């Protein structure tokens, strides 16, 4: 269910003040927006597209403090998406998958024909990068991607203090972002 | 990895993220203080500092360096946003105007025959080297603080950090510098700022990428 820009901004603000559920909602919405934006601009096949979407989400999260509450949120999200899309273009540069920046008739036709995908989008780059993380960080990031696991539950399952786990999570995410940036085609 | 799962992990990383503005301003002030203390301890201040401050040309040195530092750091903060569209020129212009006015005044108030010697001053390369040396700590501190940002153009953002650090270094150096001519400041402090900016740009290109 798409939400308005104002609601997205409100959800992000709530997230800033500690409301994890609101923040997750905001991120899901951002994923949806970015997916269609990048697809429209680059016309990429599914898995590559999802890699960019995931990289954008990671950046949106790690750089969330760069959004000024007084400014509109969509230009900020779009700027991050465009930056990462350009990065990905440079890194991959695969010919034949690139669509000219001006919208072509074929691209519009394809967009109209295909509704929102029903599959669970999967990205491969971050999966690879995750596998290369130090063991502890990998355990923590994987653990938290599982349905319904809270920080407290995972901490006790791994025998770690909550604070230590949070640090490992943050480090792991930063490392993922770095690895994603360095991904060579 | 499924995107839905990634979102879950991101939402769990709920540490408060400090805004770049706080980190950068803190870095500027702290590194400025450290550079000042270290410089005064290792090199010292000019013996006539208190009386020199009454000289408008000396006051100008601090005004120029101070305004350059503020403009550079202010732009660096703007440039740390991914959706920034500000023009660096808007920030540079007031500082350049100040310099131009100062130079114009000095040229109009001093005889032409002394312009060359005033411009070269005494030991200009030593001054330049000291400015850059003092600037290194603020440049490094500003660049590090700006890693919390997401600049559209990391090189440009790095240049701003370099200029800011350079200006802080110049302000500290002015406590010692015996050359008071505005022409000297325009050329040699200016050169110091350019070198600092280039250094910041070179490092920023990699360190500020995100």
Distance from CA of B90 to the nearest CA of A (A): 20
- Nearest Cβ partner for B3 among A50, A68, A150: A50
Measured in Å, how far apart are chain B's first and last C-alpha atoms? 21
**In the prediction, which pLDDT does A1 show?**
63
Q: Which residue has the tokens 């100062």?
A: B102
pLDDT at A104 over 90: no
Q: Which residue has the tokens 């991914």?
A: B82
- Nearest Cβ partner for B1 among A18, A68, A126: A126
Task: List, for residues A28-76, the tens digit of each pLDDT value.
Answer: 999 999 999 988 877 765 567 888 999 999 999 999 999 999 999 999 9
Sign of the dihedral defined by the CA atoms of residues A93, A99, A101, A107, in that order: negative
pLDDT at A108 over 60: no
d(C-alpha A26, C-alpha B47), whole Å:
60
The residues in B 160-179 lying below 8 A from A, measured between CB atoms, are: none
- DSSP label at residue B19: P
- B47 interfaces chain A, CB cutoff of 8 Å: no
Helix (H, G, I), strand (E, B) or coil at A1: coil
Averaged confidence pLDDT in chain A: 81
Measured in whole angstroms, the distance separating CA B129 from the mean position of its chain's CA atoms is 15
pLDDT at B89 over 60: yes
Beta bridge partners of A122: B2
Task: List, for residues B118-128, the tens digit of each pLDDT value.
Answer: 999 999 999 99
- DSSP label at residue A77: H
Task: List, for residues A130-142, the tens digit of each pLDDT value.
Answer: 888 899 998 898 8
pLDDT at B137 over 90: yes
pLDDT at A112 over 60: no
Its pTM stands at 0.87
Query: Phi/psi class of residue B15: alpha, beta or left (left: φ > 0; alpha: ψ in -120 to 50)?
Result: beta
Q: Do A147 and B8 touch (CB under 8 A)?
A: yes
Q: Do A169 and B13 touch (CB under 8 A)?
A: yes
**In the prediction, which pLDDT does A46 show?**
54
Q: Do B13 and A166 touch (CB under 8 A)?
A: yes
Averaged confidence pLDDT in chain B: 95
Q: Do B17 and A65 touch (CB under 8 A)?
A: yes
Q: In sequence order, what are the residues at sequence separation of 6 or more whose Cβ sits closer than 8 angstroms to the Cβ of residue A129?
A: A175, A176, A179, A180, A183
Contact, A53 vs A31, CB < 8 A? yes
d(C-alpha A34, C-alpha B119), whole Å:
56
B149 contacts in A (CB within 8 Å)?
A: 63, 66
ipTM of the complex: 0.90
Beta bridge partners of B2: A122
Task: Specify the range with the lowest mean pLDDT, choosing from A71-85, A147-161, A166-180, B103-117.
Answer: A147-161
pLDDT > 70: what percent of chain B? Answer: 100
- Closest by alpha carbon to A35, among A141, A100, A144, A119? A119
């Amino acid at each position: 269910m798409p939400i308005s820009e104002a609601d997205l901004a409100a959800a992000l603000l709530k997230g800033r003040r500690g409301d994890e559920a609101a923040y997750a909602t905001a991120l899901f919405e951002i994923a949806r927006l970015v997916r269609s934006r990048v697809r429209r601009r680059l016309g990429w096949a599914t898995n590559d597209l999802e890699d960019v979407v995931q990289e954008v989400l990671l950046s949106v999260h790690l750089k969330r403090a760069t959004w000024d509450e007084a400014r509109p949120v969509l230009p900020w999200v779009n700027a991050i998406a465009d930056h990462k899309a350009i990065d990905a273009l440079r890194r991959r540069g695969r010919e034949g998958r690139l669509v000219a920046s001006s919208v072509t008739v074929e691209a519009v036709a394809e967009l109209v024909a295909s509704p929102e995908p029903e599959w669970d989008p999967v990205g491969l780059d971050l999966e690879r990068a995750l596998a290369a993380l130090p063991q502890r960080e990998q355990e923590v990031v994987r653990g938290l991607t599982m349905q319904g696991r809270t920080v407290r539950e995972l901490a006790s399952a791994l025998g770690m203090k909550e604070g230590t786990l949070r640090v490992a999570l943050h480090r792991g995410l930063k490392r993922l972002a770095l690895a994603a940036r360095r991904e060579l085609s | 990895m499924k995107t839905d799962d990634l979102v879950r992990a991101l939402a769990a990383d709920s540490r408060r993220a400090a805004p770049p503005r706080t980190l950068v301003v803190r870095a500027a002030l702290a590194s400025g203080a450290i550079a000042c203390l270290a410089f005064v301890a290792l090199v010292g201040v000019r013996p006539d500092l208190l009386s020199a401050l009454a000289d408008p040309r000396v006051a100008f040195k601090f005004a120029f360096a101070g305004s350059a530092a503020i403009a550079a750091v202010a732009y660096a903060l703007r440039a740390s946003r991914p959706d920034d569209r500000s023009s660096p020129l808007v920030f540079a212009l007031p500082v350049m105007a100040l310099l131009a006015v100062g130079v114009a005044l000095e040229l109009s108030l001093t005889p032409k025959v002394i312009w060359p010697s005033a411009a070269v001053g005494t030991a200009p390369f030593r001054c330049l080297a000291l400015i850059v040396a003092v600037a290194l700590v603020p440049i490094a501190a500003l660049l590090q603080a700006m890693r919390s940002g997401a600049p559209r153009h990391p090189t440009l953002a790095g240049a701003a950090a370099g200029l800011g650090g350079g200006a802080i270094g110049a302000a500290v150096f002015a406590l010692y510098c015996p050359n008071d001519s505005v022409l000297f400041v325009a050329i040699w402090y200016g050169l110091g700022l350019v070198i600092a900016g280039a250094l910041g740009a070179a490092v920023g290109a990699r360190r500020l990428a995100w």
